[in-house]
Chains A and B, each alone.
Chain A
Amino acid sequence: MMTEVSMLIDVAKCIGCRGCQVACKQWNQRPAEKTKFTGTYQNPPRLSANTWTLIQFIEPEDYDENPRWLFRKQQCHHCVDAPCEQVCPTGAIKKLENGIVYINQSICTGCKYCVEVCPFDIPQFDRASGTVRKCWMCLDRVKNGLEPACATTCPTGAVSFGSRTGMLAVARERQNILEKQGFSTRIYGKDELGGQHVMYLLPEKASIYGLPEAPRKPTEKIFWRWLLGVIPGMAILVAIFAYLFKQRSASDTAASDAKSGGE
């Protein structure tokens, strides 16, 4: 039996300590990246094949009117309707019954379709292995009754893990508490894109945290991509055929002309 699992990221509780980033690397044995301090605490600057989760440090533009420093844990959302899985040509990306979306490294050919199609820019191509990697919600731990490493290490309870219904209940309870304290919140990932197995409790607009306010349905995106790809493609093919046909008929005409001329 597989319960549908979920992770809840309660950004109001996140203190940006980045224990999750280190726990992820430690459990999954990902090497450290060589980084530079560039003027922000955020490091590495972006997700990579070896960095599957990352705390984004955000100083909002309107800081002077409303001083705050926001932290959001970036990682795979483990979508219900996972576009990466839908476009994977080899079947390397699997959506498990428990909701975890993972990439089978031995089958992945590194075609990067998933990289292209993810609305959150999560999957990352690994030059060393020639495959794509991303958060797999510590499937090995989850299978053995443990929480993902990031959830276990989080000191404040900003990252919690459990059944999807349980996490939704926690999120609603927290919504009530935060509402009493004057924050209207949104459970991002409850319904977005058919629902996701990583949900964010956001006390501010999603866009401030670098999330699309209304992420487009991946199927729509795929359709448009398909359509946008198909129409010009067909047009080009038609043009080529038309040209070749024209050339052919022209040379036929010429040949017949020559024939006739030779006569």
Chain B
Amino acid sequence: MTNHWIDIRNADRIMIIGSNAAENHPISFKWVTKAIERGAKLISVDPRFTRTSSKAHIYAPMRSGTDIAFINGLIKYVLDDMEKNPQNYNMEYVHEYTNASFLIDPAFKLPGDLNGVFSGYDKNKRTYNKDTWKYQLDGKGIPIKDKSLKDRNCVFQLLKRHVSRYDAKTVCSITGTPEDTYLDVCKTFAESGRPGKAGTIMYAMGTTQHTYGTQNIRGYAILQLLLANMGVAGGGINALRGESNVQGSTDHCILFHILPGYLATPDEEDVSVDSYSKNHYEGKNKDPKSANWWDNARKYIVSLLKAWYGDRATPADDFAYGYLPKREVDRDYSHISLFEAMYDGTIKGMLCMGQNPAVGGPNAQKERKALEKLDWLVCADLWETDTANFWRRPKADNLNDLVDPAAIKTEVFLLPAAASVEKEGSITNSGRWSQWRYTAVHPPGKAKSDLWILDRLFKAVSARYKNQGGPISAAILDMQWNYGSADEPDVHAVAKEINGYDLTTGKLLPSFGKLNADGTTSSGNWLYCASYTEAGNMAARRNGIDPSNIGLYAEWSWCWPVNRRIIYNRASVDMKGRPWDKEHPVIAFEGVALDGKYVTKKWIGDVPDGGWYPLMNPDGTLRDDARYPFIMKPEGHARIFGMGRADGPLPEHYEPLESPLDKNPMGHAEAINPAIKLWHKDRPEGNEIGTPADFPIVGTTYRVTEHWQAGAMTRNLPWLVELMPDVFVEMSRELASEKGIKNGNRVIVTTARGTLEGVACVTSRFKPFQLNGKVVHQIGIPWHWGYAGLSRGSSANCLTPHVGDANTMIPEYKAFLCDVKKKGVA
């Protein structure tokens, strides 16, 4: 989240899209409810009417996978309205804080001009050459701007041309939203663009789990920038993370492409600290008024190496940088790739902690088969999960017809793990708050904390390397590993190492501003530098006072970065440092002015995004010592035009890999995202793809309040099983009547990859979509079930395909093609 949970209460408009917050993040509704009491309007966009929709002022149905059309149409509405009613929008924000005014290379072409692709597309490689996706630079290398936003090649005009094709009629023929409802959404959300008003977008996996999930979010970001909603209280784009500590897991790099603190994982071309820093971070900006914070990355990577290798990391040996594993350039190591490699027999062993891929992974039947190729599998979990049980799993959807365990050679180890309340440590929530928790109860039996398990594992691997040697054994043996001598490793020692030390004094560092690139500081995660200082464990703070009155609670736990509760908050004030929203100021500049010029620096409120002077003096003169507000971007401006993405600088509507339509409704040559990897073409085995002729119905998956993820924790708890005892298939009355299905009947859902049996939930809350005269049905299935545990049932992921987003490879769980029939009917 750019903002945080409590801040939702400050919103005037709330759009929940790609999320069913009331069901999957019920606590968020504490704050949504407070906002509604204040008079906020809630918009729920979802293929079916959910518990979230039940509380909304406007419910807009939308076919799964059509967010970009939906949002591009909203952007068009805002741009058109801006022209007619500029007083209703914050134009200073748009031309001063975003890259709307930046001029783009005249050779750049939009998909409207190139039959559905941006300039630079290589059809054979399915990738883009981004040479034209760049700013025009002046002689000093600084981007050229047109603050009047009139230049044909400025981002604002390009965006306008791009979305001009998304009029409400076209949008609704793609999304299936009734046009009057759609216009109501546009009007209502656009009202948050008024200066002093704020609108928030709450999203989750309904947004991300598409082959263009990143572009869905880009759409939200562009809309929010045009409405001046970034950085302000009650604004932002707010990712409701899928697990209580998933924010912490990404902060601390449990993803293949990042090191702690979102530093890039080095690849083969990054042969030294110097080349790593230059290739990824340095020299990206020539504008002296841009802070370009990532310019500091060298300090962060060196401090990270000091935390990991201690005295072995010296300037003479490049701080042990050579020990870091390097990935192949552009090689992907995400979930689908790993399981395809496992299926090939390339990957021999798997350590599976806090994950249950036999239920949670896409194309689950294939992934279960892939597990058979492993020599060994270690599962650390609270229960014996479906993954740990894969060797005695059902062959297909009949839970009692099992595979032959004797035919599976994989050796499986089950390590009983402690639950979150059974161990001490931090949990970082979606709002980036790192909150320290104490042990509430001791773990049962022989269950151990993850920290204990990893500590023993590291020590055992080290001993093995020490005694028997091995390839690059020094990378393990030289590692600094000092977490005390007690049975349970000292979790505070870990937290302090993450914060980092001044190695010349041995003192904990107060913030990442003190990190150096010369080896005199250490930090296990620069973003968390300030979380555990000489003043104590900041995450353990529990002071419930809120002088801000906007719910910042600055002394309750700790928040990255540097306890900044709302990021990009320098955009919440005008160029002179005065808050746009006087009622809910996030920060305000209160420096002294003399003769129309600020002479002292003083910000109040939240920790500002950089403590520089405001861009402008009270007398209207610009200051040279100021910095642009979006400090994490080289150009200091938020990107409406985002050249960093693999599949285009602006979001364009494409269909899901499995689409119910015969052709792309925007008239493109290709229906799907042109930059995604096609696993079914490269590796057809087990990756079958369905066509609308065989599978005419759109399927999607989701969660229910009563269960948690792949179900290991909740399908074993009788009270929760009582509430939601079986997998169900939600469908419209119209579809049920076509198929002769009655509410409560057992039904079979089929895709090109697998089948699922569940109970029909026939409801008015699902309606068929009308797409340009064509009726398209959609069904939805919760994906929590599997064959292990107290409540057992078919897994919805037996239906989903192996295909991922062009940027992140997150699987497309949310839109696929299927058919449904009553059980026992041919």
Chain A residues in the interface with B (C-beta under 8 A) = 12-13, 15-19, 21-22, 25-26, 31-41, 43-44, 59, 63-64, 67-71, 155-157, 177, 180-181
When chains A and B are docked, how far (Å) is the Cα of A67 from the Cα of B766?
A: 11
Q: Are A15 and B722 in contact (CB under 8 A)?
A: no
Distance between Cα atoms of A25 and B705 in the complex (Å): 17
Given contacts A67-B764, A155-B30, A43 and B723 within 8 Å (CB-CB): yes
Instruction: Tell me the dominant secondary structure on chain A's binding face.
Output: loop
Tell me the smallest distance from the CB of B136 to a CB of chain A, in Å. Answer: 50
Contact B27 A15 (CB under 8 A): no
- Chain A residue with minimal CB distance to B49? A67
Instruction: Please give, as numbers and ranges, the residues of chain B lying within 8 Å of A69 by CB-CB distance.
Output: 49-51, 53-54, 765
Check A15–B719 contact: CB distance below 8 A: no
* Contact between chains at B27 and A155 (CB < 8 Å): yes
Once the chains bind, are A43 and B725 in contact (CB under 8 Å)? yes
Assess the A18–B30 pair: CB atoms within 8 A. no
Asked if B447 is an interface residue, CB under 8 A from chain A, the answer is: no
Give Cα A59 to B722, complex, Å: 21
Instruction: Report A66 CB to chain B, min CB distance, Å.
Output: 11
Query: A64 vs B766: C-alpha distance in the bound complex, in angstroms?
Result: 11
A16 CA / B725 CA spacing, docked (Å): 17
Asked whether, in the complex, the Cβ of B706 is within 8 Å of the Cβ of A18, the reply is yes
Q: Is B596 an interface residue (CB 8 A)?
A: no
Q: Check A39/B722 contact, CB under 8 A, given A15-B22, A63-B764.
A: no
Residue of B whose beta carbon sits closest to that of A26 = B719
* Cβ of A153 to closest chain B Cβ, rounded Å: 10
| Cβ contacts under 8 Å, B765 to chain A | 59, 63, 67, 69
Kindly provide the distance from the CB of A16 to the nearest chain B CB, expressed in whole angstroms.
5
Q: Please, which residue of chain B has its CB at the minimum distance from the CB of A43? A: B723
Rounded to whole angstroms, the CA-CA distance of A157 and B743 in the bound complex is: 33
Question: Count of chain B residues with Cβ under 8 Å from any Cβ of A?
Answer: 40
Please give the residue numbers on chain B whose beta carbons come within 8 Å of chain A beta carbons, in ascending order.
Answer: 22-23, 26-27, 29-30, 33, 37, 39, 49-55, 59, 704-706, 718-728, 743-744, 759-765
Partner among B37, B54, B721 whose Cβ is within 8 Å of the Cβ of A16: B54
* Distance, CA A177 to CA B723, complexed state (A): 33
The distance in angstroms between the C-alpha atoms of A21 and B728, with both chains bound, is 21
- 17 residue pairs A–B, Cβ–Cβ below 8 Å: A15-B51, A18-B706, A34-B725, A37-B727, A38-B743, A39-B743, A41-B704, A41-B761, A43-B723, A63-B765, A69-B49, A69-B53, A71-B54, A155-B29, A156-B26, A157-B30, A181-B39
Q: Are A32 and B721 in contact (CB under 8 A)?
A: yes
Distance in angstroms between the alpha carbons of A39 and B719 in the assembled complex: 19
Whether the pair B29, A156 counts as a contact (CB closer than 8 A) is: yes
**Chain A proximity of B640: nearest CB distance (Å):** 35
A71 to B52 CA separation, bound complex (whole angstroms): 12
A39 to B22: give the CA distance in the assembly, Å: 20
- Find chain A residues with CB under 8 A from B59 CB: 67
- Find chain B residues with CB under 8 A from A25 CB: 719
A71 to B54, CA, bound (A): 9
> How far does the alpha carbon of A59 sit from the alpha carbon of B759 in the complex, in Å?
18
Which residues from A are CB-within-8-Å of B37? 177
Q: Are B722 and A32 in contact (CB under 8 A)?
A: yes
A23 closest partner in B (C-beta):
B719
Residue ID in chain A nearest B744 by CB atoms: A39
What is the chain B residue whose CB lies nearest that of A30? B719
Whole-angstrom CA separation of A112 from B704 in the bound complex: 37
A37:B726 contact, CB within 8 angstroms: yes
| Residues of chain B contacted by A31 (CB below 8 angstroms) | 718
B723→A13 contact, CB < 8 A: no
> What is the bound-complex CA distance between A109 and B535, given in angstroms?
63
Q: What 4 additional pairs, Cβ within 8 angstroms, besides A17-B26, A156-B30?
A: A15-B23, A37-B761, A40-B743, A68-B54
Q: Which residues of A contact B763 (CB under 8 A)?
A: 59
- Please name all residues of chain A whose beta carbon is closer than 8 Å to the beta carbon of B719 when the two chains form the complex: 22, 25-26, 32
Measured between beta carbons, the chain A residues less than 8 angstroms from B743 are: 38-40
- A31 and B743 CA atoms in complex are apart in Å by 28
A34 to chain B: which residues have CB within 8 Å? 722, 725
The 8 closest A-B pairs by CB, nearest first: A32-B718, A39-B743, A39-B744, A37-B726, A32-B722, A15-B22, A69-B54, A63-B764
Instruction: Decide if B53 touches A13 in the complex (CB within 8 Å).
Output: no
Contacts of A17 in B (CB 8 A): 22-23, 26, 51, 705
Tell me which of A37, A38, A44, A157 contacts B33 (CB under 8 A): A157
Closest A residue to B726 by CB, please name it: A37
Which residues of B are found within 8 Å of A180, using beta-carbon distances? 39
> What CA separation (Å) do A246 and B95 show in the bound complex?
108
Residue in chain B with minimal CB distance to A19: B26
**A15 close to B761 (CB less than 8 A):** no
Min C-beta distance of A124 to chain B, whole Å: 16
Report whether A33 and B722 are in contact in the complex, using a CB–CB cutoff of 8 Å: yes
In the bound assembly, the distance between CA atoms of A38 and B723 in angstroms comes to 12
Instruction: A26 to B717: give the CA distance in the assembly, Å.
Output: 11
